[in-house]
Amino acid sequence: MCELLGMSANTPTDLCFSFTGLTQRGGNTGPHSDGWGVAFFEGKGLRTFHDSSASANSQVASLVQTLPIKSETAICHIRQANVGDICLANTHPFVRELWGRNWVFAHNGQIANFKGRVDVFEPIGDTDSERIFCDIMNHIRARLTRNASLEDLCALLTELAQGYAKQGVFNCLLSNGDWLFTFCSTKLACITRRAPFGNAQLKDADVTVDFAGETTPKDVVSIIATEPLTTDEAWHIYQPGEWKLWQKGEVLMEGAVKKSV
């Protein structure tokens, strides 16, 4: 299995604190040592870092921990391989271009022998996760238009997610830089930080931060992760079937689908 980390913020914000916590779980406080990746949106542009080595020992991860890359939307993933070799092509997050935007996807879970719709988007590596991503993108391209409403988008994404969750474990983060869609089949948590900001202590490293010193009173920053990353904050735990569409740090739409087997 793997672990996910996403961020949605109303102002460009760095992910250093949460990223430092998550990457410890890649070979240090957790077993997810089969690669890691992160994608930071900057407007429609995207900055990605991928590595097939353990994040806890990765030189690139060490740099990203200290680089103040400011983003409104970011998606990060650390991998514990179950399907597919340990190699760069199998390292999340995956990226495709559709309608002149970057679409980014990371998955936690497994769907054995998944076969998706055969169409324009094809997997490059050999993970079930990338096959699912291509299936999602092919459905979006075939069934929506570039000007589709977010209601229509969420209706399609939750329909697909419900189908995937029936076939296996499907926790995911998906973004086109404008919004961040999150779906929980088994495990996902989130927290929204806003004024008055306080302190937080990482669960996986001896690191604390005083958010008041790093923010303005108008900032709203939400973090979505497989498991809570801090020990002294109240995280919301997603229920199985629960989904949320985030934009600028706030929940724009949310709901739940039945996870019938």
Catalytic residues: 2
Residue 123 binds its own copies (CB under 8 A): yes
Told to check if 87 binds its own copies by CB under 8 A, we report yes
Q: Does residue 49 belong to the site contacting its own copies (CB under 8 A)? A: yes
Least Cβ distance, residue 256 to its own copies (angstroms)? 33
Q: Which of 29, 48, 82, 192 binds its own copies (CB under 8 A)?
A: 48
Q: Which residues contact 37 (CB under 8 A, 6 or more apart)?
A: 48, 49, 50, 51, 76, 77, 91, 92, 93, 106
Integer Rg of the chain from CA: 17
Out of 89, 155, 169, 256, point to the residue binding its own copies (CB under 8 A): 89
What are phi and psi for residue 64, nearest 5 degrees? -65, -30
Q: How far is the CB of 38 from its own copies (least distance, A)?
A: 12
Other C-beta atoms within 10 Å of 141: how many? 17
State residue 128 phi and psi, 5-degree precision: -65, -35
What's the min distance (Å) between Cβ of 46 and its own copies? 7
- The C-alpha atoms of residue 96 and residue 14 are separated, in whole angstroms, by 23
Residue 143 within binding range of its own copies, rule CB under 8 A: no
Binds its own copies (CB under 8 A): choice among 1, 16, 60, 253: 60
Report the nearest approach of its own copies to the CB of residue 65 (Å): 12
91 binds its own copies (CB under 8 A): yes
DSSP codes joined into one string, 199-248: EEEBSSSS-EEEGGGT--TT--EEEEESS-SBSSS-PEEPPTTEEEEEET
Residues lying near its own copies in the complex (CB under 8 A)? 42-52, 59-60, 63, 67, 87-91, 95-97, 99-102, 120-125
